[in-house]
Every structure is written in C-alpha cells, then in structure tokens.
Amino acid sequence: MEMKKRFGKASMFKWLLVVLPLLFAVSCGSSDSGDKTTQDVVADAATDTTVPTDVVEQDGTVPDNQVDPETVEDVAQDLPWEELPTLPTDKEFTTRYIAGAATVDASPDKPVFMGGFGFCMGKIDACRISEGIHDPIEVNAVAIGDTETGEVVFFVSVDAAGFFKYDVDLVHEAAPAAFQERFGVKMEGPRIIMGASHAHSAPDTCGIWAPMEKSVRDDEEYIAYVRDSVLEAALEAYGNLGDVEMVWGKGNAINHTDDAFTDNDIFTVKGIRPEGETVFTLTRWNAHPTCYGSENLALSADYVGTFRKTIKEQLGGVAVYMNGCVGSTYSEAPDGCQMDDLFPEGYQQDGVNDNKSVCVGVNLAEKTVEALDSAVPVAETGLFFRHYKVLFHPDNFALMTLGDIGPAPIPHIDLDDPEDKMETQFSWVTFGELDYVSTPGESFPSFGKKIKDILAAKGRVNGVVMGLTQDWMGYLMTTDQWEDDDPELNYYKSLSPGILIYGEYMSVFEAAVDDVL
C-alpha cells in the first residue's frame, strides 16, 4: 500500500514538519560563509513522439544495461530515424573534432524560491524568495562532434540547485524531435549531458526548498522554462558547429573537504577555430557554490558566475563549468584576498558581502588559465558517448516521503521491499585522453576516486568525474562511509538515497569499462 494511503497526508505532513527540519536545518550542504511565457517545448515534444532514451556503443552493439532504440516518428523530413545524419549536411568540416557553443540567459523575471539552504515545507515565511538578480542565471552549452565517427555530445551547465531525473528525462525526450525539426538530424536525448552548478544562491529547480503545499511544484512554470533553455542552448550550440582544434590542461585550486580523499583538480579544455578564435572552455572543479550565506536573497551563480566572467574576459568564447565531487567539499578563497564586486550593476542586498564569491571565482579562473598555458592537443583518437541506467533500492525514508506527500517528482518506492528499485542514470564520454563520467548527485570525492581507479586500471588515467549531472538525488557516499559511525557523516547520510547506490553504480560502471576497454 502506498505511503499516502498508510499514513494520510495530514498526519504525514505533521511528522515531516518535526523530522525533516532537523535534516534540512542548514542546507543541502553546509556553508562557509519569472513569469515566463515561453512555450514549454519540452513538455509538448515529449507528448508528440516516441523517442529513443538509450544509446549504442561505438561498435554499434547495445550494452547489456541498455534498451534497444525505438524508431522516432519523422518530423522534419521523410526519412527513417536510422537513416538521418548526425552531423549538419549544409557544412563542410576539415578537422577531426568540431565544436559549437551557446549561452542562454535563464534569469527569472519574477521572484522565485531559492535552493540549497533551509527547509520550509508548509512555512512560506521561512522560505528564501529572491528579491533581485545580482548576476545572470545562465545555461551554457558546448557541442563537440567527431567528423569521422559522426558522434556528437553536449555538455550543458545550468546555474541551479539541481534537477531530478524527471526533468532531465523531459529534456532528453524532447531532443530528438527538436533536432530533427530544426536540423533534420538524428540526436538521442541523453547526449545532452545536463549538469547543475548547485549554487545555493540560484533558483530551486528541484522544488523541495519551497512550501510544497500545491499539487505541482511552486515554481513549475520557471522550471519548465529552464528545461526549454537547456534544449535551446544545445540546439544553438549544434547550429554553431565548426572546425576546431582542442587542447586540454590540468591544474588545481584550493578547496577543503570532510572526506578522507581530497580532489582539487581542475580539468579544462579549450576549443579554438583554425583562425584563432576561442569557441569554448569546458572546465571541471569541485566545490559547493556557497560563498553567499543563507541570508542572501539575491539570485547569483555564486563563484561560478565570477569565474565565467573572468574566463570570458581573458580567453573569450563560452565558458562552460561542470561541477564535480561537491559532496562534503567547499570552496576556499586565497588568504587575504580582497576584491571588488564584478557585478556592481546587479541587485545589491544590504549586509551581503560579495568578496568570497569574487575571490574564489577569480582564483579558479587564474588557475584555469595557468593550466591552459601548458595545454596539449586533445589526441585525435575520437569521441565516444555511452549512457547507462542503474537500478537500486533506496532506504532514506525522509527523502522518499517528499515525493509521496508533496509535489516533488520522486517515484514511490516501497522501502520495506528490497526488490522495489529506483532508476537513475549516468553518462560516460571519451574524447582523446579524457574520460568524463557523470554521477547523479553530490558525490563525495571518495565516490569519484573509485570511478577514477576503475578507469586507471585499464590505462585511462584522466578520469573527470562530474556531480549533479543527468540526475540529482542527494549525497553519494561509499559503502565504507555509510558503515562508519563517525557522527560527522550523519548529516550527509540523512540526505542520501542510501547505502546501496554505491555498489550498484560501481557494478554497472565497472562492467561497462570492462566491456569497452
């Protein structure tokens, strides 16, 4: 019997008001310091056609963990799905890799609930509602293609708290029809690798840092607008595909973590047109964007925004930032750093200091530029994309209850039945020496280290682990951390899907690596 029927909404609501504030009292991670009228093309397209939600390996076979692609109904032209091209037919390319990039401003035009800090279910006065926009809320995308294999993949970064699989899937489901209609090409939705920066000063795109008293999420219209913006950014990036030379570098910037393993690595890729113009930078680092505290009501991309602005001023192009293993990991500003606000024209809230956001973002940008100063060309060994599903049994009663009694799009799972499974997903992209692997939540550095170790055992030593990408389901910890009695870990356990996801995720990933490599 479903939880709603066992407990009743009223009694369960009262229980949550007692228990969940204890879990969410500070944030989804502790801190150191609009009424859009755009048509929801995601929802519309998702109802128009049946689309493939999984992909094939580079040898054309379907992985054991996949479902055979279905045939999509033709929209733009009279061609079967499998006969559609994957690269533009109206352009000629001369380089092995091609790329295009785009930025879409997703700033709301009315107040929205802000994500990351606090828990205000049933108490709107306790919610954080934005008062203005300090710096733009953006969607930044880069499309990277391989002219020999026809592979294309999109890295899309959103200034947002996170996205449930529900919202990611809506974007993925809408993509094939949208790409076919605009460009007449075949594009599987999961190739849009959708990541959230997890800035605690950005909008709540999950819908759980809001009162949750309605039948739909409080800012559902804005969340739909962000989904549209993600798809539009991917479409525009694809439309901008052109010849590119890619180089990559590795550096580090200081952060601090509660984990036994520290990951402060910067991985950065720069794409340059043959004539020298920078098309994009794709950068991954690890740290919670919590430079602004819980009293802040000005929408901001946090240090990610100051990082992007600095990178664009120094290098040009579109700056795409994919956050990494932010679980237990927080930003660190250089000692004694004092800098002026980079967005003085934005909304200024009394009592809120911008110094740390600027110092962290500018320092990260400088370290990224240093890494690119000694960059090497990306090996022309090709681009390969893979996507996998993971089934696991969650055991966090509080988080599962949010979906049972509230509007959060979390599927009902019988926590007493170990065979009742929840589905999540991850993507693995290889180009040159680099392996980008997504994780569906705030993965701990130790979680990411296991992924890197699995790759390294096969000779792939540049594993780039992304967090809050293709799904968000709280903290992702190792089995050892779950079994550790350290009280410092209790907070993270309270906001995790459970002990079993680590083993299930690693089992699928290791099998995939064994099969491919």
Cα–Cα distance, 150 to 432 (Å, whole number): 15
Q: What is the pLDDT of residues 273-291, one digit of tens each?
A: 999 999 999 999 999 999 9
Residue 118's pLDDT is 86
- Which of 122-126, 128-132, 425-429 shows the lowest per-residue confidence on average (mean pLDDT)? 122-126
Residue 78's pLDDT is 54
Q: What is the pLDDT of residues 181-214, one digit of tens each?
A: 999 999 999 999 999 999 999 999 999 999 999 9
Name the nearest CA neighbour of 107 among 300, 349, 288, 341. 300
The average pLDDT across 486-496 equals 91
- Tell how strand 318-323 and strand 278-285 pair up: parallel
- Kindly report the average pLDDT of the chain as a whole number: 87
Of residues 73 and 230, the one with the higher pLDDT is: 230
Name the nearest CA neighbour of 250 among 433, 507, 23. 433
DSSP annotation string for 326-355 = -TTEEE-PPTT-----S-TTS---TT---H
Residue 429 host element (H or E): strand 422-431
List the Cα angle 217/438/328 in 5-degree steps.
Answer: 75
Name the nearest CA neighbour of 23 among 499, 453, 490. 490
Report the first-to-last Cα separation within the chain, whole angstroms.
Answer: 44
How confident is residue 29, by pLDDT bands cut at 50, 70 and 90?
very low
Cα–Cα distance, 263 to 134 (Å, whole number): 30
Quick count: other Cβ atoms within 10 Å of Cβ 256?
14
The average pLDDT across 172-189 equals 97
Q: 3-class SS at 186?
A: coil
506: pLDDT strictly greater than 80: yes
Residue 399's pLDDT is 76
DSSP annotation string for 255-283 = EEESSSS---EEEEEEEE-TTS-EEEEEE
Residue 401's pLDDT is 80
Residue 400's pLDDT is 79
CB-based contact 197:301 (threshold 8 Å): yes
Residue 442's pLDDT is 98
Percent of the chain scoring above 70 in pLDDT: 85
Q: What is the pLDDT of residues 352-370, one digit of tens each?
A: 999 999 999 999 999 999 9
CB-based contact 31:115 (threshold 8 Å): no
Sign of dihedral through CA atoms 180, 182, 187, 193? negative
Name the nearest CA neighbour of 216 among 45, 43, 7. 43
- Six-digit token string for 386: 């893979």
The average pLDDT across 369-382 equals 98
Q: What is the pLDDT of residues 260-270, one digit of tens each?
A: 999 999 999 99
How confident is residue 405, by pLDDT bands cut at 50, 70 and 90?
confident
Question: What is the pTM (predicted TM-score) of this model?
Answer: 0.88
Q: What is the pLDDT of residues 428-481, one digit of tens each?
A: 999 999 999 999 999 999 999 999 999 999 999 999 999 999 999 999 999 999
Cα–Cα distance, 306 to 65 (Å, whole number): 40
Q: Which of 142-146, 350-354, 394-398 has the highest mean pLDDT?
A: 142-146
Q: What is the pLDDT of residues 61-76, one digit of tens each?
A: 333 333 333 333 333 4
